[in-house]
Amino acid sequence: MATDVVCTVTNTYDPPDTTPPDTTLTAGPDDLTNSDDASFSFDSTEPGSTFTCQLDAEPAKACASPQTYTDLADGEHTFAVFATDAAGNADPSPATDTWTIDTAAPVATITSAPPDPSTVTNATFQFTSEVGATFECRLDSGAWAACTSPKSYTGLSGDPHTFEVRATDAAGNTGPADSHTWTINLPAAGALYVTAAGGNVPGAGAYQKNDILKWNGNTWSVWFDGAAERLPASADIMAFDVADDESGAAWLVIRQAVKLPVVGKVQPTQIVYSNGATTWSLFFDGSNVGLKTTGERINGLEVLPGSASPIGSGCLYYLLISTVAGGGVTVGGVNVNFTGEDVLGFCMTSMGTNTAGTWHVVFEGQAQGLQKNNNLGVSASDDAATLYFTVKKNFTGDGGLVRPSQLFSYSGGVFSGPLWKAADHGLNQVVDGIDVVGSIP
């Protein structure tokens, strides 16, 4: 008996793999970095894939994660990677990353700083660097701290000081520090400086109208010798401010037009600077900022650091000025009239032949009881909170009668004085220019 055998055949068909893998970047450099090395990590959706990498315009080549590059140039770079699976399917859209390398350190530059030497215990610095940079400052080797321009310090000691500033760019590069060293020479407390028509004073003897006298509370001395500083004998110092007691440096206004060494002809609406060593320069040109007439001749002056200015920005110095008989200046785009008993404030943003800045009225004399055009000399405290005056004719204020060649003050809406009388100390000529440093001796 025959037996039938039945065979079953199963036909299995696997379709080909035509799906490409997807490539993913899992790590890379920051968009902006100061490192010239770069490392990239990447992955594929299909295990067993191989990878091809390309940097910028270089030829593509096989690679593995992580892929690292070293010593790259500054600038923008692009990295691309794509996976190929075991079936030979390549990812048609590579994963890419673009980043920028910046290894160049920014340069910080100090653009404004106190004079050296200085008699002011405050200091303001202005500085700049590339766009987007941040700054760190330090004073006298102290700790670096974040800062912005301008940077101000107050209450500094009478010693040499060094200010440093450095910049850090957006990539994190920190550049070398720029520095400024200056010395603060604090004048002796209680010094009073004056000018007069010329004559004699006890202890100092003869002096001229181109000299500045100093009274220290005990004795007189000729502090500024006009002849020694090559100031013509005809020059009459009408207003001044002491810049440095030790060196003899000062800002000066001459009553009439006079020719000075190097500077040439100067007018009574201009302020010149003497470094105390026969060197002259033009500091302030009033004709550039509205002081042009006879009445606008300067007869009172105080030069303060720019940080003392309550107006404007970028002030190099803050000037307090009074004039012989007044005139007009531009305040906020409007012409404002003033008279000779008023005090103007000026935020100086550019000096010398390119004098520029912003005016305001600090003190309206008639509104406070002063007679019209009765100021003869003006000085101020370091914070400009107290004004000191001499007058052309008698004035009765809150403190009583004040005569010419006597000193009185105005602060907080109150006149005080007389605070000092020239005749009590043997000075019998009419005092015009004054500068009070510290307390009145």
What 8-state DSSP symbol labels residue 425? G
Q: Which residues of 10-31 are buried (b: 16+ CB within 10 A; e: fewer)?
A: eeeeeeeeeebbebebeebbee
Q: Do 288 and 325 lie in a common domain?
A: yes
Residue 6 domain-assigned (yes or no): no
Domain finish residue from 101, 122, 139:
101
Q: Do 66 and 97 lie in a common domain?
A: yes
Domain finish residue from 58, 74, 101:
101
pLDDT digits (tens, 9 = 90+) for 368-407: 999 999 999 999 998 899 999 999 999 998 888 999 999 9
Query: Which pLDDT belongs to residue 439?
Result: 84
Q: Do 92 and 166 lie in a common domain?
A: no
Q: Do 167 and 195 lie in a common domain?
A: no
DSSP letters, 116-136, are SSB--S-EEEEEE-STT-EEE
Please, which residues have CB within 8 angstroms of residue 9's CB and are 6 or more apart in sequence?
A: none
How many Cβ atoms are within 10 Å of 399's Cβ, its own excluded?
A: 14
Query: Which pLDDT belongs to residue 438?
Result: 86
Q: Do 115 and 151 lie in a common domain?
A: yes
| CATH code, domain with 157 | 2.60.40.10
Instruction: Please choose, from the candidates 348, 282, 255, the residue with its C-alpha nearest in 3D space to the C-alpha of residue 309.
Output: 348
Across 131-156, average pLDDT: 96
Structural domain including 405 reads 191-437
Across 143-171, average pLDDT: 95
What is the C-alpha to C-alpha distance for residues 168 and 107, in angstroms, rounded to an integer?
Answer: 9
Residue 1: which pLDDT band, with cuts at 50, 70 and 90? very low
Q: Do 372 and 279 lie in a common domain?
A: yes
Across 271-297, average pLDDT: 96
Map residue 439 onto helix, strand or coil. coil
What is the C-alpha to C-alpha distance for residues 351 and 355, in angstroms, rounded to an integer?
Answer: 4
Instruction: Please choose, from the candidates 156, 119, 126, the residue with its C-alpha nearest in 3D space to the C-alpha of residue 139.
Output: 156
| CATH code, domain with 421 | 2.110.10
Number of folded domains that form the chain: 3
Q: What is the pTM of this model?
A: 0.60
Q: Do 38 and 128 lie in a common domain?
A: no
Residue 113 domain-assigned (yes or no): yes
Residue 9 domain-assigned (yes or no): no
Q: Do 236 and 146 lie in a common domain?
A: no
Domain finish residue from 160, 183, 206:
183
Lowest mean pLDDT among 8-17, 55-64, 109-118, 373-382: 8-17
Residue 150 domain-assigned (yes or no): yes
Q: Do 129 and 255 lie in a common domain?
A: no
pLDDT digits (tens, 9 = 90+) for 101-132: 999 999 999 999 999 998 888 999 999 999 99
Query: Which pLDDT belongs to residue 397?
Result: 86
Q: Do 224 and 348 lie in a common domain?
A: yes
Residue 233 domain-assigned (yes or no): yes
Residue 10 domain-assigned (yes or no): no
| CA dist 53 → 23, 31, 35, 96, 154 (Å) | 11, 19, 20, 10, 59
Which tokens in the block code for residue 179?
A: 């520095």
